[in-house]
Amino acid sequence: MTDKNVFTRRGFLKLGGLAAMSVPAISVAKSFGGYDIVTSEEEYGGFLVRRHTKKNPPYEVNDAVYKRYDLPRSAGLNKNGFLDHFRRKQNLNKNIANKVTGFTRLEAAFAGGASSFMAGLGVIYSFEPLDYPHPLTKDLSKMPPWNPGEYGLSAKDVSNIVKKAAKFYGASMAGIAEVDERWFYNTEPTSVEEMITLLGDAKPDLSRLDPEDDLINLFAKTLRKSRDEFITNVIFSGEVDKPMVREDGTKVIPKSMRHMITMAFEMDYDCMETQVSGLALAAAGSGYSRMAFTSASLAEFIRALGYNAMPMGNSTSLSVPCAIDAGLGEMSRIGILVTPKYGPRIRIAKVLTDLPLVPDSPISFGVREFCEICGKCAKYCPGQVIEKGGQSFKPFPTGNAGVKKWQLDGNKCYSTWADFGAVCHTCIMVCPFNKPEGWVHEATRILIGARSGSIDKILLKLDDASGYGVGKDPGAYWKKNNFMHIKS
d(CA 267, CA 280): 9
Choose which of 377, 403, 448, 462 interacts with ligand SF4 (CB under 6 A): 377
Locate the DSSP E strands across 92-159: none
SS3 408: strand
The arrangement of strands across the sheet holding 363-364 comes to 29-32, 35-39, 48-51, 363-364
Least distance CB 203 / ligand SF4 (angstroms): 26
Interface with ligand SF4, residue 284, by CB under 6 A: no
> Which of 86-94, 200-208, 351-359, 376-384 is the region at the interface with ligand SF4 (rule: CB under 6 A)?
376-384
Indicate the pairing of strand 309-312 with strand 188-189.
unpaired
Distance from the first to the final alpha carbon of the chain: 21
Q: Could you tell me the smallest distance in angstroms from the CB atom of residue 425 to ligand SF4?
A: 6
Q: Which is nearer to ligand SF4, 262 or 275 (CB)?
A: 275
Asked if residues 162 and 176 have their Cβ atoms less than 8 Å apart, the reply is yes
Instruction: Indicate left, alpha or beta for 122 from its phi (over 0: left) and psi (-120 to 50: alpha).
Output: left
The smaller minimum CB distance to ligand SF4, of residues 124 and 374, is found at 374
User: Which of 105-113, 255-263, 426-434, 476-484 is the region at the interface with ligand SF4 (rule: CB under 6 A)?
Assistant: 426-434
Determine contact, residues 47/441, Cβ cutoff 8 Å.
no
163 in contact with ligand SF4 (CB under 6 A): no
- d(Cα 175, Cα 190) in Å, to the nearest integer? 25
Using DSSP's 3-state secondary structure scheme, residue 222 falls into helix
Cα–Cα distance measured from residue 109 to residue 26, given in angstroms and rounded to the nearest whole number: 43
Q: Least Å distance between CB 365 and ligand SF4?
A: 12
Maximum Cα–Cα distance across the chain? 68
With CB under 6 A as the rule, give the number of residues binding ligand SF4.
25
From residue 342, give the alpha-carbon distance in Å to each of 91, 182, 286, 329.
31, 27, 16, 10
Under the binding rule (CB under 6 A), the answer on residue 382 touching ligand SF4 is yes
Task: Please give the order of strands across the beta sheet that includes 244-245.
Answer: 234-237, 251-254, 244-245
Q: Which stretch binds ligand SF4 (CB under 6 A): 72-80, 204-212, 243-251, 382-390?
A: 382-390
Indicate whether 281 belongs to the interface with ligand SF4 (CB under 6 A): no
Which of the stretches 227-235, 242-250, 289-297, 428-436 binds ligand SF4 when contact is defined by CB under 6 A?
428-436
Q: Among 375, 397, 402, 471, indicate the residue that binds ligand SF4 (CB under 6 A).
A: 375
* CA atoms in the 13 A half-sphere facing the CB of 209: 15
Identify the residue among 309, 371, 459, 462 touching ligand SF4 (CB under 6 A): 371
Q: In whole angstroms, give the CA distance from residue 354 to residue 255.
A: 9
Span from 21-29, 251-259, 371-379, 389-397 in contact with ligand SF4 (CB under 6 A):
371-379
Query: Shortest approach of ligand SF4 to residue 91 CB, angstroms?
Result: 14
Q: Which of 350, 376 has the CB closer to ligand SF4?
A: 376
In 3D, which of 289, 316, 265, 367 has the Cα closest to residue 120?
A: 289
Residues 391-410 that bind ligand SF4 (CB under 6 A): 408
Give the footprint of ligand SF4 on residues 310-349 (CB under 6 A).
332-334
* Contact status: 374 vs ligand SF4 (CB under 6 A): yes
- Residue nearer to ligand SF4 on the CB measure, 36 or 372: 372
Cα separation, 246 vs 252, whole angstroms:
7
State the nearest-atom distance from the C-beta of 336 to ligand SF4, in Å: 8
By CB under 6 A, name the binding residues for ligand SF4. 332-334, 370-371, 374-377, 381-383, 385-386, 408, 413, 416, 424-427, 430-433
